Structure 1
Amino acid sequence: MHSNRPFVHRFKAMTVPCEVQLFGSIKASQITAMIEQNTRRLEQKYNFYSEQSWLTRELNQRGDNSVLLDDESLVVFQTVKNLVMGTAGVFDPTVGSLKWLLAKDASLNRAQAYQIAQPMMGEAAWHLEGKQMFISHHETRFDLGGVIKEFAIDQAINLAESLGVAGALINFGGDIRVLGAKPNQETFNVAVVNPSNPTQAFFSLPLANAALTTSAHYERKTQFSDGQTSHILSDKGTHSKVLSVTVVAPTALEAGAISTALTIDPLLPVPGEVSIIFIDDELKIHQDTEFLTQ
């Protein structure tokens, strides 16, 4: 491998195209294979839609109000709980309850679905005590679709760094984290797409030792009997003036949770190390929330 060119490995997992670029390692082929293997393992373990996943069998089809978590799942849910609290409950993994209801009864309209799901959802619906998770409502369902892809990205970076990789870019479906820089010390430039035409780049940002995620509601939809809404589910909906939110944060997991929450409530306070870029409904770029009051 030429030292100034990355070793590039591509595969598809978690319903998205995945790309791993590694610089400065003679073991790049083995490392990227390990990253793919780990990503697929996480996908199988935490897949909301698979009857065979750990998430479905042990958590969502639990027979009691508590579940003993393995070490990895404890880390996942401890991190998720911190993100739920940090976003004042706007980021909510129990949104799986709503998806579960809709899968059972497609005749539910939006108001009915949220009314039925309300007792099953929210920060108070679950808590951790040691390695035990307690869930107050027997029909609460967890969907980690907004978590595990980013968790896999962070694990990929950690793995690459532990094995001596000098520079890396992990891109899973547009959620990105980079390690170090390219061999000439040039930073990675990451493009953010135009929310009105996702095939076009809208702007780019330099990124070094950080993660970038963009949350938007221009592609995937959720179907209720009385119409469609964004795939980003909230009883109050996504903010009408926000087409997309790009967040730069230390980890992909943090960036992903915050960007999702900000599409719903763009006025949420964020940690000081986090940077935000909004694209509004007139395709204007903002780095603050003043446009919401104009």
Structure 2
Amino acid sequence: MGSPCALSLYCESKLQFEDLIAKSLELVNRLEDTYSRFKPESLLSKVNSAAGSDATFPLDDECWQLFNYADSAYKISDGLFDVTSGVLRQVWDFKSNKLPPIDKLEAVVALVGWHKIKLQQDSFSLPHEGMELDLGGIVKEYAADLLASTLRLSGCEFGLVDMAGDIAVVGPHPDHSPWNIAISNPAATTKAIATIPLMSGGLASSGDYERFIMLDGERHSHILNPKTGMPVKGLAGVSVWAPKCVIAGTIATVAMLKGDLAKAWLIDVDCNYLAIDQNGQLDMKN
């Protein structure tokens, strides 16, 4: 999925291990073939290519559920979690150390807006030419959850799925001790600033420290407000753990997009979280 992924599994035999790996690869490849915007034959790429045309696409049950989840996330975040906002990458180049021209930014922001879409399972389409869907903020976390569930149903009792930091627990270690998940220090990403013990469920993190532009001593992160197209200023990072990785990922993403209102929002949704401010100070609820 365009990022390093790993499985940590306890198996009864080499045969069981090989069977679980084969099932895992088949599942992840299927999701990537369907939802990757990098693959021209994926459903998502076909929908994006047909934006603004008369072409429509029927959605299977899984895709329908994912789109409805995106709809719910959009609503509970007051429009900040928007799967049409990936189009902003057209004007933001975080390797250039330059801000995008205002006129180009405004033109792309006009293409953003999940509310512009009429969600229909039998005839889904993007209404305006140039609009795009990017499910990268949902499918990787969903994949972690689905993979963990599939492994459990296949007889694996102890293990962990790591989709580039989006974590889903299959089950604890065989001695019933937790998996200790290290949280990166925004100021020194190769070091841990905290460790979260997980027995079940999922964990996801979001932060402003991996991709950014420095201009006149000010950091402009890759976390963009879909309503303005501009970087959000707030927490340096947040990790959330919940019964499902996809839920944890959505909450973490929205918290980063909330800027200065992030902590109040995290408290309001009553979740388990670790928030890291720009000074490296920690605020944790467990």
**1:189–1:110 distance in 2 versus 1, CA, 3 Å:** farther
Q: Are 1:34 and 2:28 matched, yes or no?
A: no
For residues 181 and 196 of structure 1, the distance between their equivalents in structure 2, rounded to whole angstroms, comes to: 30
For structure 2, the residue ranges without an aligned partner over 5 or more in a row are none
1:85 aligned onto 2:92: no
Partner of 1:6: none
2:160 matched to which residue of 1? Answer: 169
RMSD: 2.7
CA distance in 1, matches of 2:50, 2:83: 16
Q: 1:45 aligns with which of 34, 54, 57?
A: 34
Paired with 1:47 and 1:163, the residues of 2 have a C-alpha distance of: 26
**SS at structure 2 position matched to 1:128:** coil
Percent identity, please.
26
Cα contact 1:151–1:253 (8 A) shared by 2: yes
1:279 to 262, 276, 281: 276
1:127 matched to which residue of 2? Answer: 118
What is the CA distance between 1:263 and its match in structure 2? 0.9
SS of corresponding position for 2:236: strand
Q: Under a length normalisation based on structure 1, what TM-score does the superposition of the two structures give?
A: 0.81
The match for 2:245 among 227, 252, 264 is 252
Tell me whether 197-206 or 27-36 shows the greater mean CA deviation: 27-36
Structure (1/2) with the larger strand percentage: 1
State the distance in 1 between where 2:136 and 2:101 align.
21
Distance 1:102 1:232, change over 3 A: closer
**SS in structure 1 at match of 2:193:** strand
1:22 aligned residue: 9
Cα distance, 1:204–1:153 mapped onto 2, change above 3 Å: same
Contact 2:48–2:126 (8 Å) recurs in 1: no
Q: In structure 2, how many angstroms separate the alpha carbons of the residues matched to 1:162 and 1:113?
A: 49
Gaps of 5+ in 1: 1-13, 289-294
The number of equivalent residue pairs is 269
Q: Whole-Å Cα distance in 1 between the matches of residues 176 and 141 of structure 2?
A: 26
Checking the alignment, whether the CA contact within 8 Å between 2:222 and 2:231 is kept in structure 1 is no
Aligned to 1:69: 59
Report the 3-state secondary structure (helix = DSSP H, G, I; strand = E; otherwise coil) of the residue aligned with 2:8.
Answer: strand
